[in-house]
Structure 1
């Protein structure tokens, strides 16, 4: 926005707190290199645009804002003479790289002193070399510290998740190894029993019937529904009685396998009718091997499927093979985080998913959002001390996507609620928390995604609410 040129008065500049210590020569240079303009209400500049000017308010009202989603949220409003805005970091980053960190607008007709960014940078370095040197060190040191702190927090989270993932992977892997070893024994026994049957007094049509029963039995195993312990015990007793009545020794050892496969006395009646009493025991034991091998193969399949799911969840969580900024499915991110944290959550915490599956995918930094979900869920689980309900809800809140994570813990004390997003603030015992998780989460949501992070808490109901814009562009600067 351009304004109406006005005279530059060095005496007026000397009354401003920024320039009151300058010499006559320096004030004259400001008027020579700068300019004064009168502006009508409206925007001076917008966030993200190249920072070309340094503005100092002489008269009027200036409003500074930051972009959150599609809106400019007011940060400060001032009518004080001498307040400044614009390219005041040009001397650090260099005017060719500087961008406005927010937006500025005038709320009423206003008069401003303006210096081009290049001139401002030169004057700062000429007049305040030591101050600029110190400010540069502070600026870049703060940036570096923030990167190191963020990386450290991610490594701590990764270490915790890796331990949980290792435990989660170990269980199905060990189950698959045990089932494979047992399967080898059962197959060897089945081969032996098949040899015995082949040498026995079975007619061809009897063997064909028996093979047909074997095929139907294998199909039945895959369809078996789980039973309660009481139901299973009753059925085992009934099958054991049937086997004893038909002269099959140690029937109580065979009965649990048949019950687990969903087979009952009616199935045994079919076997008895097909082979006759004299060869019934051999046929039943052969079919027992069939059932055992099917059950073991089901166990191996379940275990390897679980391993595959965990690996997929880890891949989804880490986002190692994906672009940093992309269109993401929020439910996939939440589910992968819950899977990665399942070992830490424990059996005493009930997980409730209240997902609105009609929500659109949104542009985001998925890997960093997963870090946010990890921090919030980990805090919720710690607060509940292993017992309670964790609810993860998604919804559309006007034009924003809402993710709400709720726990039934003791709540956040009202006296510290305003401090929980401060760096290094933690309520955990020494050595158990860094105090950085929520601070980093706030920067990722607010600074990088232009969203909002809010907490509501009473004993038994703590809710962290994250709102994200459904449309966005990559952030210009790191969180």
Structure 2
């Protein structure tokens, strides 16, 4: 770097940024500013450093870049005389953090007019009071609106997920309630029929054999396989006929339960020999109640297990009772998100998982990654209103862990693809989207995890690829 004499007011007026200033204002800038030269390839300032100067290009070519997952990605390049960069928000003072948002490099030998940040702030605040108020209002108003709408977007997403989770929980919960009520009736019937059997008509040995029959019936019911429709009908007819022949009332009502439990004519013949013909009717009903009770307990167990899994998925999705940053398995996070979104994924959309289970856990903010998965999955589903396939793939690519979401929807037009990560930009009808889902996802992946998110699209195939550092990171912020 080399510094030369100050520019004259006449030289400053040749720059489009200063051409409308008064002579006094140009004199003030000429006195306080300086010129600096940077060799080709030299760094003028680095991303994240304190923003101490305002730079105006006098000659040469420059490039702006940002760090994405450890790599410098060039975002702009120009040789236009008079372009500016650096401490462009100095006029906001201490109300915002004054740091350079990107890195500025000299592509060729370059010369700059450099003004200290405090002097630039003073000039804007003193010379352009109305513009200052407009700029402040625009900056803070946009930031406040962004925060409010972002919060609203999160609340709407939470409400949608809560509604879906409530719906998913309601089904097994209602099934458990119904099964419990039916089980109560069956247990009451079992007590009543057992009292009729054991009122002195059977001795201890016969009662013991009856209990053995009960245990065998329960075991058969637990291991019975579902029969084809015709075979099941034949088994029910055979059991019903046998019951009618042996004087058991309403055999047609008992036969389906016995046949479904794998209890056929040979087994019933053995039971009749154990308890005798006189006690056969109450015995068969008692055994039917027993089998019904076992099946109902199986329904309750299944329903409660489903509820437990849903609650576990909700905890995994929200990362409750976990540190904000932790070592996570992305597959567990994706599966939890899919579970939470079951109610939002129509039956016409098939979800295909192609996971590389050898991928290592990574340090990440689990709850925020779940928000990324949510946004990408919901967008993919919305792009396939008539149905289609959502394919989720994971693999490792050098030092990156890659998660890819591919849908067979309508695609993203090429003319709007560069804008999809902009705040408030949405292709959905008014009132159906805030345009913050992909912006939030981008900031979580790029700013929070030092990763990258890429998109490619054509009709019938849209791919969103999330790249995350696969190794340990010293700092995620």
Do both proteins adopt the same fold according to a TM-score greater than 0.5, normalized to the shorter chain?
Answer: yes
Contact 2:456–2:464 at 8 Å: present in 1 too? yes
Written as runs of structure 1 = structure 2, the 5 A alignment for 1:60-459 is 60-94=60-94, 97-265=97-265, 267-268=267-268, 271-272=271-272, 274-319=274-319, 321-385=321-385, 387-412=387-412, 417=417, 420-421=420-421, 426=426, 428=428, 431-449=431-449, 450-459=451-460
CA 1:346–1:191: 2 relative to 1, 3 Å: farther
CA 1:368–1:226: 2 relative to 1, 3 Å: farther
126-135 vs 223-232, greater mean Cα deviation: 223-232
- Cα distance in structure 2, aligned partners of 1:392 and 1:149: 29
The answer to whether residue 5 in structure 2 is matched with residue 4 in structure 1 is no
Structure 1 unmatched runs, 5+:
none
Deviation at 1:417, TM superposition (A): 4.8
- Cα distance in structure 1, aligned partners of 2:384 and 2:218: 45
CA 1:419–1:54: 2 relative to 1, 3 Å: closer
CA 1:188–1:344: 2 relative to 1, 3 Å: same
Deviation at 1:290, TM superposition (A): 1.4
225-234 vs 357-366, greater mean Cα deviation: 225-234
Deviation at 1:374, TM superposition (A): 2.6
Deviation at 1:121, TM superposition (A): 2.3
Deviation at 1:75, TM superposition (A): 0.6
Contact 1:44–1:105 at 8 Å: present in 2 too? yes
Deviation at 1:250, TM superposition (A): 2.9
139-148 vs 427-436, greater mean Cα deviation: 427-436
Partner of 1:37: 36
Instruction: Tell me the secondary structure at the aligned position of residue 18 of structure 2.
Output: coil
Partner of 2:16: 17
- Cα distance in structure 1, aligned partners of 2:221 and 2:296: 11
Deviation at 1:358, TM superposition (A): 2.1
Deviation at 1:303, TM superposition (A): 1.5
Structure 2 unmatched runs, 5+:
none
CA 1:136–1:159: 2 relative to 1, 3 Å: same
Instruction: Tell me the secondary structure at the aligned position of residue 8 of structure 1.
Output: coil
RMSD: 3.1
Deviation at 1:454, TM superposition (A): 0.7
- Cα distance in structure 1, aligned partners of 2:242 and 2:356: 52
Contact 1:261–1:295 at 8 Å: present in 2 too? no
CA 1:274–1:415: 2 relative to 1, 3 Å: farther
- Cα distance in structure 2, aligned partners of 1:370 and 1:217: 47
Contact 2:455–2:462 at 8 Å: present in 1 too? no
CA 1:463–1:256: 2 relative to 1, 3 Å: farther
1:408-443 CA-to-partner distances (Å, cap 9, x unmatched) read: 444445565555555555555555444544444444
Normalised by the length of structure 2, the TM-score is: 0.86
Partner of 2:46: 46
- Cα distance in structure 2, aligned partners of 1:399 and 1:237: 66
Instruction: Tell me the secondary structure at the aligned position of residue 198 of structure 2.
Output: helix
- Cα distance in structure 2, aligned partners of 1:24 and 1:396: 61
CA 1:433–1:278: 2 relative to 1, 3 Å: same
Deviation at 1:188, TM superposition (A): 0.6
173-182 vs 430-439, greater mean Cα deviation: 430-439
CA 1:426–1:39: 2 relative to 1, 3 Å: closer
Deviation at 1:319, TM superposition (A): 3.7
295-304 vs 198-207, greater mean Cα deviation: 198-207
- Cα distance in structure 1, aligned partners of 2:230 and 2:42: 77
Aligned length: 472
- Cα distance in structure 2, aligned partners of 1:428 and 1:74: 30
Contact 1:38–1:112 at 8 Å: present in 2 too? yes
Instruction: Tell me the secondary structure at the aligned position of residue 310 of structure 2.
Output: helix
1:87-131 CA-to-partner distances (Å, cap 9, x unmatched) read: 221221439831111112222333333333333323332333332
336-345 vs 202-211, greater mean Cα deviation: 202-211
Contact 2:183–2:293 at 8 Å: present in 1 too? yes
CA 1:291–1:123: 2 relative to 1, 3 Å: same
1:33-59 CA-to-partner distances (Å, cap 9, x unmatched) read: 443333332323322222222222233
